[in-house]
A and B are shown apart, each in its own frame.
Chain A
Amino acid sequence: GQNIDQPTEMTATEGAIVQINCTYQTSGFNGLFWYQQHAGEAPTFLSYNVLDGLEEKGRFSSFLSRSKGYSYLLLKELQMKDSASYLCAVRDSNYQLIWGAGTKLIIKP
């Protein structure tokens, strides 16, 4: 079967750095996405990785290792507004997105 695993919840301090991990087992791989979802709102696109390595976009970076079936999202200089759920999704061989359950990130002052 297809499976995406992420931690259910993480807590971090304002101004700090946090790494959210995602491991996957899917039928085929055509890219990995990270989305941010604030409570009661729609998911919004953060990043996309299809090749191994690190993609940096401002305070957010995303890393991919296809051989390990592993990705992480790195958030630097955390702000209170970063409190949200972070969703990992893999595009499979049928070009459909398989979604993890999301990691709820709690930022404390």
Chain B
Amino acid sequence: TAGITQAPTSQILAAGRSMTLRCTQDMRHNAMYWYRQDLGLGLRLIHYSNTAGTTGKGEVPDGYSVSRANTDDFPLTLASAVPSQTSVYFCASSDSDRGEQYFGPGTRLTVT
């Protein structure tokens, strides 16, 4: 079972460029999440989706957008990247907003 996959594994992006981080799960989980992880800080929620067709803002949503067209995919888009968006991005899913979360392998993004 693949679980959750993320692409790309890593990326160097010039400031001002746009980029979409991909996330796909095969567990038929209803809820999906995007986090960023920075050194010395806890995981911070960017956006979430409790079910296909709905999304919500997390703690740090500015500069990011998401969509949830179907159960399996939850892409994260940076419209115009800035250096402060340099981070490791994790996608996660759970069978509901009450279950434990399962994480993808992460995308390491560097904005120069």
What residues of chain A have their CB less than 8 Å away from a CB belonging to chain B?
4, 30-31, 33, 41-45, 48, 87, 89, 91, 95-102
Q: Which residues of B contact A33 (CB under 8 A)?
A: 100
Q: How far is the CA of A45 from the CA of B90 in the complex (A)?
A: 14
Q: How far is the CB of A61 from chain B (nearest CB, A)?
A: 17
A4-B42, A101-B42 as given contacts; A42 in contact with B101, CB under 8 Å: no
Q: How far is the CB of A101 from chain B (nearest CB, A)?
A: 5
| Most A Cβ at <10 Å: residue of B41, B45, B101 | B101
Q: How far is the CB of B34 from chain A (nearest CB, A)?
A: 12
Segment of B62-70, B77-85, B103-111 in the binding face: B103-111
Asked if B72 lies at the interface with its beta carbon under 8 angstroms from chain A, I say no
**In the complex, what residue of chain A is closest to B42 when comparing beta carbons?**
A99
The reply to whether B42 and A87 contact each other, CB–CB distance below 8 Å, is yes
A96-B58, A97-B101 as given contacts; A42 in contact with B43, CB under 8 Å: no
The reply to whether A41 and B45 contact each other, CB–CB distance below 8 Å, is no
The prevalent SS among residues of B at the interface is: loop
The reply to whether B41 and A45 contact each other, CB–CB distance below 8 Å, is no
Q: How far is the CB of B111 from chain A (nearest CB, A)?
A: 20
Q: How many chain B residues have a CB neighbour from A under 8 Å?
A: 18
Asked if B74 lies at the interface with its beta carbon under 8 angstroms from chain A, I say no
The reply to whether B103 and A87 contact each other, CB–CB distance below 8 Å, is no
Q: How far is the CB of A1 from chain B (nearest CB, A)?
A: 11
25 contacts between A and B (CB under 8 A): A4-B42, A30-B98, A33-B100, A41-B105, A42-B103, A42-B104, A42-B105, A42-B106, A43-B103, A44-B103, A45-B100, A48-B100, A87-B42, A87-B43, A89-B42, A89-B43, A91-B98, A95-B97, A96-B45, A96-B48, A96-B97, A99-B42, A99-B44, A101-B42, A102-B42
Q: How far is the CA of A69 from the CA of B48 in the complex (A)?
A: 26
Asked if B40 lies at the interface with its beta carbon under 8 angstroms from chain A, I say yes
The reply to whether A101 and B106 contact each other, CB–CB distance below 8 Å, is no
